C-alpha cells in the first residue's frame, strides 16, 4: 500500500473500494492506494485484442500485475514529490486509457488520454517557482504542471502545460525570453517541440535530413542511420529488436514488426522484452 503525505481532493468511483468489500466488510484503502490496481483491471479488460493482433497469447493476470506495477511506480514517485492526488481526475484518466487501449493506441500517442491523465496529480509548487521535475509543479484547470528548463544539473521553473498545442505555439522557454511563460503548449504526437525555437513545429517529412531523437520524423517514418527520414516497415516485416522505431507501429516483437504498439510481450504474456 502507498502511505504518505497525499491529499485526496475528491472521492469518486475509485472511492468505492473504501466503501465496502466482499461480505460487506469495509475496505479501508484510500483511492490513491487502489488506483494502480483499478487502472490495471480496467485496461487489461480490453487489452487482449491488441495482443492477439500481434500474434501473442494473453494472460489477464500477468497483464493486470504489469499494469499495476507500472502505475504504482508513478504513484510512488509523485507521493515522494509531495504531489496531491485527484480521484475524479484519476477516474477520467482510467476511462480515457481504456478507450486508448481498446483502439490499441499508446497513451502518449492519444491526445485525450494525455490530457486526462496529466491532471491526476498536482505538485506543491506554484507557477513561477523553481523545480527539479514536473511532479513538483501544480496543475490547474488549464492543464498539468510542468517544470520547464530543468536538467540533472539545472533547476527549472514551474509552468502549466496546456493541451492541443498548434503549429507555432510556445512549448518552452524561448531563447530570447527573460522568463519562463506561465503556460506552455503540449505539442502532442503530431508535432514536435523544436529544441531551438521552443515552439511547436512540424516533424521531418519523408526524405528530410538531420532527424533524430530531438528532431523526429512524421508518423509512419523513421530516422535511419544516416539521419534521413525513410518509410517505416509494415507489420510482418523483419526488424531489429534494438531499433523498434523502424516499424510503422514502432514495435518489433521477436524480430517482426507488430501491428500495434500496445500488445507487447510484457503486458500480454508477462515475458520481458
- Residue 261: what pLDDT? 96
Q: Which helix (H) or strand (E) holds 1?
A: none
Tell the residue number behind the cell numbers 497513451, with chain if given: 107
How many Cβ atoms sit within 10 Å of the Cβ of residue 121?
28
| Confidence band of 273 (pLDDT split at 50, 70, 90) | low
Domain boundary among 87, 122, 157: 122
Record the pTM.
Answer: 0.84
The torsion defined by the Cα of 253, 254, 259 and 260, in degrees rounded to 10, comes to -10
Note whether residue 236 is domain-resident.
yes
Domain boundary among 81, 97, 122: 122
Note whether residue 231 is domain-resident.
yes
Tell the residue number behind the cell numbers 517541440, with chain if given: 193
Note whether residue 32 is domain-resident.
yes
Closest CA to 141 of 155, 127, 128: 127
Domain boundary among 81, 104, 122: 122
- Residue 25: what pLDDT? 52
Closest CA to 112 of 98, 128, 130: 98
- The tens digit of pLDDT for each residue in 85-120 reads 999 999 999 999 999 999 999 998 888 898 889 889
| Confidence band of 14 (pLDDT split at 50, 70, 90) | low
Interhelix angle 60-80/31-44, rounded to 10 degrees, is: 150
- Residue 42: what pLDDT? 97
Q: How many domains does the chain have?
A: 2
State the residue range of the domain holding 37. 13-122
Note whether residue 215 is domain-resident.
yes
Report the relative pairing of strands 156-162 and 183-185 from DSSP bridges.
parallel
- Residue 112: what pLDDT? 86
In the structure grid, which three cell numbers stand for residue 25, read together? 466488510
- Residue 132: what pLDDT? 95
Cα separation, 237 vs 250, in Å, equals 12
- Residue 4: what pLDDT? 38
Note whether residue 200 is domain-resident.
no
Note whether residue 234 is domain-resident.
yes
How many residues can be counted in the chain?
A: 273
Closest CA to 188 of 98, 100, 101, 108: 108
Cα separation, 142 vs 172, in Å, equals 16
- Residue 73: what pLDDT? 96
* Residue 32 near residue 75 (C-beta atoms within 8 A): yes
Amino acid at each position: 500500500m502507498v502511505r504518505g503525505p497525499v491529499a485526496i481532493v475528491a472521492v469518486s468511483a475509485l472511492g468505492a473500494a473504501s466503501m465496502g468489500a466482499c461480505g460487506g466488510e469495509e475496505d479501508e484503502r484510500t483511492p490513491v492506494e487502489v488506483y494502480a490496481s483499478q487502472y490495471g483491471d480496467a485496461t487489461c479488460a480490453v487489452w487482449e485484442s491488441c495482443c492477439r493482433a500481434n500474434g501473442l497469447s494473453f494472460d489477464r493476470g500477468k497483464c493486470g500485475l504489469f499494469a499495476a506495477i507500472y502505475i504504482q511506480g508513478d504513484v510512488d514517485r509523485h507521493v515522494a514529490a509531495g504531489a496531491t492526488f485527484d480521484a475524479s481526475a484519476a477516474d477520467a484518466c482510467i476511462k480515457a486509457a481504456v478507450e486508448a487501449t481498446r483502439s490499441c493506441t499508446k497513451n502518449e500517442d492519444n491526445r485525450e488520454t494525455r490530457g486526462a491523465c496529466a491532471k491526476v496529480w498536482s505538485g506543491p509548487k506554484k507557477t513561477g517557482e523553481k523545480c527539479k521535475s514536473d511532479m513538483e509543479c501544480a496543475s490547474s484547470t488549464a492543464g498539468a504542471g510542468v517544470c520547464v528548463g530543468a536538467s540533472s544539473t539545472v533547476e527549472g521553473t514551474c509552468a502549466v502545460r496546456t493541451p492541443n498545442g498548434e503549429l507555432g505555439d510556445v512549448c518552452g522557454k524561448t531563447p530570447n525570453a527573460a522568463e519562463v511563460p506561465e503556460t506552455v503548449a503540449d505539442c502532442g504526437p503530431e508535432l514536435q517541440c523544436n529544441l531551438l525555437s521552443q515552439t511547436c513545429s512540424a516533424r521531418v517529412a519523408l526524405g528530410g535530413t538531420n532527424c533524430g531523437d530531438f528532431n523526429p520524423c512524421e508518423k509512419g517514418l523513421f530516422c535511419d542511420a544516416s539521419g534521413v527520414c525513410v518509410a517505416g516497415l509494415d507489420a510482418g516485416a523483419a526488424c531489429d529488436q534494438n531499433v523498434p522505431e523502424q516499424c510503422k507501429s514502432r514495435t518489433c516483437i521477436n524480430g517482426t514488426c507488430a501491428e500495434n504498439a500496445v500488445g507487447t510481450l510484457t503486458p500480454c504474456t508477462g515475458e520481458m522484452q
